[in-house]
Amino acid sequence: MHKNKTLLLVTARKRLSVFIILALVIGVLGNTFAAEENVPTLKISSVTGKPGERVTVEISVDNPQGIAGMQFSVNYDPSILAVSDADVKANTISGWIFDTNVIQEEGKVYFAGASANAITVSSEMTVCSIAFTISKSADIGNTEVTIADLYVANDVPQKIEMNIQNGKITVSGESSDPGNNDPGNNDPGNNYPGNNVPGSKEQSSTETVDENASTDINAQTIVDNLGNVTVSVTQDQINNAISAAELSALPTGIKIKADCVKDAMKVTINIPAQSFRKLAENDRISFVLIQTCTATITLDKKALASISNNVTSTSNNISIIIEKVSNSAFLSEIKNQVGNRPAYNFFVYVDDRDVPNLSQGNVIISLPYTLASEDDPNAVIIYCIDRNGNASIVPNCVYDTEENAVVFTTSRFLMYAIGYNKRVFSDVSGWATDYITYLAAREIISGIGDGKFAPNVNIKRCEFVKMLAGIAGADVSVYSGSKFKDVKSSDWFAPYVAWAAEMEIVFGVGNGMFAPYDDISRQDMAVMIDRFAIYVNYSLPEVTAEVTFSDNDSIKSYALEAVKRLQRAGIISGMSDGTFAPTKGATRAESAKMLAVFLQGMAKTIK
């Protein structure tokens, strides 16, 4: 009996392979068999779920009598839905052998099944089920799940005509993830105590700060004999600014301007707490910019709400403090990089309560700084020093040559110091130099040894994922393994791949594989950057007109929209011959350019 069972399995597996070939041949020859009535129907069920949830759709066939084999693909939007091979379950139809293959990057699940004997019953049968995970950043609405590449045959074999009934997944309500509402709690996956990026549920709209789209408040400025500056905003000034903003056709900002006091030791900006709450709650106010000669601070809409959440009915005052720090306060590890450059402590108080962290939103800080004659602006960086004295580089900082200032984005009010971290590679020159210098200064990329960078060598998929983790400041020490079959826990890149998979930046290449040592293609790099933008809650700007590449038809459907968005954002461009070359490997220099432009844009963008 055991021998007969083994023989049956071998026969069925052979039949499955033969069926796939025959189905393709029959499809070409058009040799179709179908009864005049009772044509079978392949159906996908429709379900509803929330962002972050798993939902299961069933693929069934109505009136399956006479079917001996079938193959088809289930197509879905990979930016909304994710699935792995383990999520696909084939039904145990008696005598059938099944094979499935998931290619997440393309949004396809391939299915094939065959039997030594045709199905003899006409009642509806479930063929397989697929458990999809809805992206946490998915918009509310419907996303289609469709059938394509369908071939069905009887046991002659002849092709059988079959109807198709597609399904959909309705994304409704808010994410089931409760999020992070504790002002003092940062996501453990973020080593750099900066941006509020991990676990964001939706990609917020993004506005580049436009100082012309604001209502000005000229605040009273008082300087004491110790060089301390107090800037006071009144309730009437806030009310008048809100009234002016409500007359604007579009959401606008409020700019609080202090008299310029150079070399101030400490600047304290006082705003009535209840008036601040009104600013935060008014949907016409998109940001508040506070301008002093010591620093300019811009609070986005969510940052305003985060601070306002600490205001009670009895709160009187909100103080934002900028305090100059002596360079002797720095640890030896960064003293050389900081030198005599400026450093400041930043605080926010609601009355006497310290609010060091934002639970949501971000702050743009601009620190005036004049370059020394030998300074390379791409090597000027910002160090963040936490309350325990631990220093880390802020990745998304940039030197603004027009404003002569270092600009960076953060979500914490801590100590920040301007530093300089120039890295030189002997084999880097030409167009890529500035981009490579920029990322190397922030320790997002490094060389290959002997002072070389190898700019023209193609970058591997595992290497690019590590670069993204560096930009995010991800603490990958919490990851010990990976879900991919070809990524071992002992591989140096395993924690970076595991992080990227958990954050829905990568999904693998199918069959549970990641292909870490493969060169990353230009189109896959675009897809990863596009997903990373969602992860860091950054809506890509549109700074250039859309270009239609001459090989647009060669760009895979799963990558086309990502390529368009990155091209309009000025992050990617085509080849000199007008093509995009989607399957061509991207070099280390090209990847440095893409990520440097991405970071520089994000550093100066209000969310």
Residue 6 has pLDDT above 50, yes or no: no
* pTM score, whole prediction: 0.67
What is the mean predicted confidence (pLDDT) over 155-176? Answer: 76
- Contact criterion met (CB below 8 Å) for 350 and 273: yes
Distances from the Cα of 3 to the Cαs of 10, 14, 221, in angstroms?
11, 17, 93
**Predicted local distance difference test score (pLDDT) of residue 96:** 77
pLDDT for 5 beyond 80: no
b/e 55-79 (16+ beta carbons within 10 angstroms → b):
bebbbbbbbbbbbbbbbbbbbbbbb
How far is 446 from 451, CA to CA, in rounded Å? Answer: 10
> Who has greater pLDDT, 294 or 213?
294
- Where are the domain boundaries for CATH 2.60.220 in the chain? 207-420
Mean pLDDT of 323-329: 79
pLDDT over 60 (residue 540): yes
Q: What is the mean pLDDT of the segment spanning 251-272?
A: 93
Q: What is the pLDDT of residues 56-96, one digit of tens each?
A: 888 988 888 888 888 899 999 888 888 877 778 876 566 77
pLDDT band at 439 (very low <50, low <70, confident <90, very high): very high
Give the Cα separation of 160 and 152 in Å (integer).
5
Residue 592's nearest CA partner among 472, 447, 400 is 447
Which residue has 């005509």 as its token pair? 161
Model pLDDT, residue 428: 95
pLDDT averaged over the chain?
Answer: 83
Determine the CATH number of domain 207-420: 2.60.220
- The segment with the largest mean pLDDT, out of 24-38, 131-145, 571-585, is 571-585
Provide mean pLDDT across the span 262-272: 95
What fold characterizes domain 2-171?
Answer: Immunoglobulin-like (2.60.40)
Lowest mean per-residue pLDDT among 241-245, 347-351, 380-384, 513-517: 241-245
Q: How confident is the model at residue 438 (pLDDT cuts 50, 70, 90)?
A: very high
By mean pLDDT, which of 107-111, 202-206, 319-323, 499-503 is the weakest? 202-206
- What confidence score (pLDDT) does residue 87 get? 78
Longest dimension (CA), the chain: 100
Three-class secondary structure of residue 178 per DSSP: coil
User: Pairing relation of β-strands 343-350 and 317-324?
Assistant: antiparallel
Whether 8 shows a pLDDT value over 50: the answer reads no
Task: Please name the residues in contact with 445: beta carbons below 8 A apart, sequence gap of 6 or more.
Answer: 436, 439, 453, 467, 470, 588, 592
Task: Read off the pLDDT of each residue in 178-193 and give the average, rounded to a whole number.
Answer: 34
* pLDDT at 41 exceeding the cut of 80: yes
Band (23; pLDDT cuts 50, 70, 90): very low
pLDDT given for residue 213 in this prediction: 65
Kindly report which listed range (54-58, 234-238, 263-267, 297-301) carries the lowest average pLDDT score: 54-58
Between these two residues, 372 and 249, which has the higher pLDDT value? 372
DSSP E strands, 458-539: none
Asked if pLDDT for residue 330 goes beyond 80, the answer is no
Above 70 in pLDDT, residue 278?
yes
What pLDDT sits at residue 1?
A: 40
In this predicted structure, the answer to whether residue 12 has a pLDDT above a threshold of 50 is: no
pLDDT higher than threshold 80 for residue 517: yes
Q: What count of other Cβ atoms lies within 10 Å of the Cβ of residue 373? A: 4
Kindly report the number of other CB atoms within 10 A of residue 358's CB atom: 26
Within the chain, all domains assigned CATH 2.60.40.680 are found at: 2-171
* More confidently predicted of 96 and 21: 96
Residue 205: is its pLDDT beyond 70? no
Nearest Cα to 602, choosing from 543, 546, 533, 535? 533
Provide the pLDDT for residue 426.
Answer: 95
pLDDT on residue 518: 96
Q: Which pLDDT belongs to residue 30? A: 42
